[in-house]
C-alpha cells in the first residue's frame, strides 16, 4: 500500500507569519465587535432626526425612504458580521490569510451605517 508523503512542517518564517495573522485577526475581530455594537446602538438614534418636523407638517418625512432605513442599515451590519465570521472560518479551513475578513466586515458595517445615515437625511429632508 502506498501512503501519501507526510506534510512538511512550516519553517520559522511561515510560523512567524501565521502567528502574526492570528494576532491581527484577533485584534481586528475585537474591533469588528466594537464597531458593530456602536453601529447598532447609533442606528437606534436615527429616528431622532425626524424630531425637527413639526406636528402640523405631515409631509416632513418621506415614507418610502423611511421604510428603507433599517433594512439597509441592519442588513448591512448583519452582512458585515457574517462575512467576518464565515470568512475567517473558511480561511482557517483552507489555511489562508484570515485578517482580511474582519477588515472587510468592518468596511461593510461602516458602509451600511453610512448608507442608513444618508437615507435618514434624505427621508427627513425630501
What one-character-per-residue DSSP string does 90-109 give? HHHHHT---THHHHHHHHHH
Residue-wise pLDDT tens digits, 74-108: 999 999 999 999 999 999 999 899 999 999 999 99
Task: Give percent above pLDDT 70 in the chain.
Answer: 81
Joined grid coordinates for residue 7: 506534510
Give the whole-angstrom CA distance, residue 77 versus residue 60: 28
Residue 3 counted as domain residue: no
Contact (CB, 8 A) for 65 and 34: no
Residue 22: its pLDDT value, please?
93
Q: Which of 38, 22, 36 has its CA nearest to residue 88? A: 22
Residue-wise pLDDT tens digits, 3-27: 887 766 666 666 667 889 999 999 9
Residue 55 counted as domain residue: no
Q: Which domain holds residue 33?
A: 18-44+61-124
91: how many CB neighbours lie within 10 A of its CB?
A: 17
Residue 126: its pLDDT value, please?
61
Query: Does the pLDDT at position 66 exceed 90?
Result: no
Residue 4 counted as domain residue: no
Contact (CB, 8 A) for 72 and 112: yes
Residue 72 counted as domain residue: yes
Q: Which of 81, 107, 108, 96 has its CA nearest to residue 21? A: 96
Domains identified in the chain, total number: 1
Mean pLDDT is lowest, of 26-30, 56-60, 104-108, for 56-60
Residue 8: which region, alpha, beta or left (left: phi > 0; alpha: psi -120 to 50)?
Answer: beta
Residue 52 counted as domain residue: no
Amino acid at each position: 500500500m502506498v501512503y501519501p508523503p507526510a506534510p512538511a512542517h512550516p519553517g520559522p518564517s511561515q510560523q512567524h507569519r501565521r502567528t502574526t495573522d492570528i494576532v491581527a485577526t484577533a485584534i481586528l475581530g475585537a474591533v469588528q465587535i466594537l464597531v458593530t455594537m456602536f453601529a447598532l446602538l447609533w442606528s437606534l438614534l436615527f429616528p431622532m432626526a425626524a424630531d425637527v418636523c413639526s406636528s402640523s407638517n405631515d409631509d416632513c418625512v418621506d415614507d418610502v425612504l423611511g421604510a428603507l432605513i433599517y433594512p439597509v442599515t441592519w442588513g448591512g451590519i448583519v452582512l458585515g458580521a457574517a462575512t467576518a465570521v464565515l470568512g475567517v472560518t473558511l480561511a482557517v479551513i483552507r489555511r489562508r490569510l484570515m485578517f482580511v475578513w474582519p477588515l472587510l466586515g468592518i468596511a461593510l458595517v461602516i458602509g451600511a451605517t453610512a448608507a442608513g445615515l444618508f437615507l435618514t437625511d434624505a427621508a427627513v429632508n425630501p
